[in-house]
């Protein structure tokens, strides 16, 4: 099983302009347990393959 963030840490860090560890620790959205889903390894890899194609396109 694999954990997948619905909204990526990178997007949250950019959105809140987090620059320090202290800012990250204080950002509630970064640690929101409802921002994740559990997938099998195969499905998790497929999601990342699809998102990589969107970034490149």
Helix, coil or strand: residue 30: helix
Task: Tell me which residue range forms the domain holding 41.
Answer: 2-56
57 has a pLDDT exceeding 70 = no
How many structural domains does the chain have?
1
Buried b (16+ CB within 10 A) or exposed e, 10-34: eebeeeeebeeeeeeeebeebeeee
**Is 0.75 surpassed by the pTM of this model?**
no
Instruction: Write out the two tokens for 30.
Output: 């970064």
Question: Which is nearest to 3 in space by CA: 51, 52, 54, 43?
Answer: 43
- At 21-50, the pLDDT tens digits run 999 999 999 999 999 999 999 999 998 887
- How far is 36 from 6, CA to CA, in rounded Å? 5
52 has a pLDDT exceeding 70 = no
């Amino acid at each position: 099983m694999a954990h997948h963030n619905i909204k990526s840490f990178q997007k949250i860090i950019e959105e809140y302009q987090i620059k320090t560890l202290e800012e990250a620790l204080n950002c509630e959205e970064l640690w929101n347990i409802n921002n994740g889903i559990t997938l099998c390894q195969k499905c998790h890899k497929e999601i990342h393959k699809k998102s990589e194609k969107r970034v490149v396109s």
